Structure 1
Amino acid sequence: MFKKLCLALLLLTEMAFAYHTTPEPVQKPAAILKDVMSFLYYKRDYLRLTEDFTGYDASMNKISTAEFFRQFATGNYLPLRLKSNFGGNEYRLYPLNAKVNKDLRSVLKGEGETDYRHFKMEAKPLPGLNYTNINGKVYNQQNTKGKIVVLKCWFIACTTCNAEIPELNNLVNRYRNRKDVLFVSLAFDPKDKLVAFSKKTPFNYAIVPVKESYIAHQLNINEYPTHLIVNKQGLVTKVVNTAHELTVALDHEAAK
């Protein structure tokens, strides 16, 4: 009995120590901030800000996700991923010093502004949901109610948009038995060019021609590709820029 009590106390002590110890970063800030490419490699390997995470300010005070993104958007911080003591994603806003060059500062500010803009789109209705695809099928608020709508914003000449199509086709195929999940793409190319594209390139999304102004001004999107998930209540739940991020977010939404 005494031995078990001692072990329990030891475990509690270790947990308390871990809780009050600042976690180590997954990579040293100096290495990440060496140049733009170093940051981009770090982003590829470690940044998962479209997934659920715990955020801390520069002093390691826990802050809301909204406040985390607001501060990140100022361009004064690096979102530094930490080695979590308890699992899950944790990030600290690491202040940039005077040695960080202006090109990297500009990249970080752009990343922060994009992430914050995307975050602020969440929990809001999708503007202008009234589309007709190249085959004449209509998508609107009435016939998409009670369904998850997965949207891709793109254009034919976008190399990255085209490169991810095979991965997106696999995603559509994985959800082929889910009649409550719709995949719709919004492209600002003319209808005839989109029809020609669809004949040459297998793309399992519905293809909808829209005006570029709709994507840029009503959806407030200026990066391509951009993916949005609209839940069964008609509210945006996630805005992301890669097929991998989309897959993670859709799996989460579809499991609800």
Structure 2
Amino acid sequence: MKRLLFILFLLAAFCLAACKGGDGRQPSAAKTAGVAPDFVLRDITGNKVQLSQYRGKIIVLEFWATWCPPCKATVPELIALQDKYAAKGLVVVGIALDEGEGSQSKVSAFSKGHKINYPLLLGDENVSKSYGVFSIPATFLIGRDQKIITAYKGYVDGLEGLLSKEIDKNI
């Protein structure tokens, strides 16, 4: 019983550290200042996708995983942003950090089950490190010029509204 309580305590402490309250906005770290690091990843159908192919669009880049409850909570907000701003040149791009065999099918099934309307890519450690992502969810708003406008680390209550304000300034 003590072992179970200890494990629950550790999980709660980790969640509090990773899922900050407030607006979650963090000053951009050196790795995320300036131009968004380019990458090539595979999407859930196996096609290669490069971030720079979205140059000229505003990008909401979300690092997440199917097993992460705070990440799941942001999905409806990201779907709404994609619906609201796609015609104005916005694209939401999810980078799934699920690992192991079967992660592609797991992310694909999650996408279908939640009716995700934006591209999902299968991330790796190199991309996470290049953006300074050490906890999820982590959200980056990237301008048409591929420069990072703002970053939110951890769960952010009202993310859709905060991003909408920033997007409206940059459309």
Q: Give the unaligned 5+ runs of structure 1.
A: 1-42, 51-114
Structure 1 runs (4+) greater than 6 angstroms displaced: none
**1:140 matched to which residue of 2?**
51
Looking at structure 2, the residues matched to 49 and 162 of structure 1 have their Cα atoms a distance apart, in angstroms, of 16
**2:107 matched to which residue of 1?**
194
Looking at structure 1, the residues matched to 78 and 23 of structure 2 have their Cα atoms a distance apart, in angstroms, of 19
Decide whether the 8 Å contact of 1:122 with 1:238 is kept in 2: no
User: Does the residue aligned with 2:50 lie in a helix, a strand or coil?
Assistant: strand
Matched, 1:159 2:69: yes
Aligned length: 146
TM-score, structure 1 length as denominator? 0.49
Decide whether the 8 Å contact of 1:151 with 1:228 is kept in 2: yes
Decide whether the 8 Å contact of 2:62 with 2:95 is kept in 1: yes
User: Does the residue aligned with 2:87 lie in a helix, a strand or coil?
Assistant: coil
**2:166 matched to which residue of 1?**
252
TM-score, structure 2 length as denominator? 0.71
Q: Which of 1 and 2 has higher RCO (CA within 8 Å, sep 6+)?
A: 2
User: Does the residue aligned with 1:175 lie in a helix, a strand or coil?
Assistant: helix
Looking at structure 2, the residues matched to 155 and 208 of structure 1 have their Cα atoms a distance apart, in angstroms, of 11
Q: Map of 1:82-231 to 2, 5 A cutoff?
A: 115-116=26-27, 118=28, 120=30, 123-135=33-45, 136=47, 138-141=49-52, 143-178=53-88, 180-189=89-98, 190-215=103-128, 217-231=129-143
Structure ID, larger Rg = 1
Decide whether the 8 Å contact of 1:133 with 1:207 is kept in 2: yes
CA RMSD of aligned residues (A): 2.8
Q: Give the unaligned 5+ runs of structure 2.
A: 1-19
In structure 2, relative to structure 1, the CA distance for the partners of 1:251 and 1:139 (3 Å cut) is: farther
Looking at structure 2, the residues matched to 131 and 149 of structure 1 have their Cα atoms a distance apart, in angstroms, of 16
User: Does the residue aligned with 1:195 lie in a helix, a strand or coil?
Assistant: helix
In structure 2, relative to structure 1, the CA distance for the partners of 1:185 and 1:211 (3 Å cut) is: same
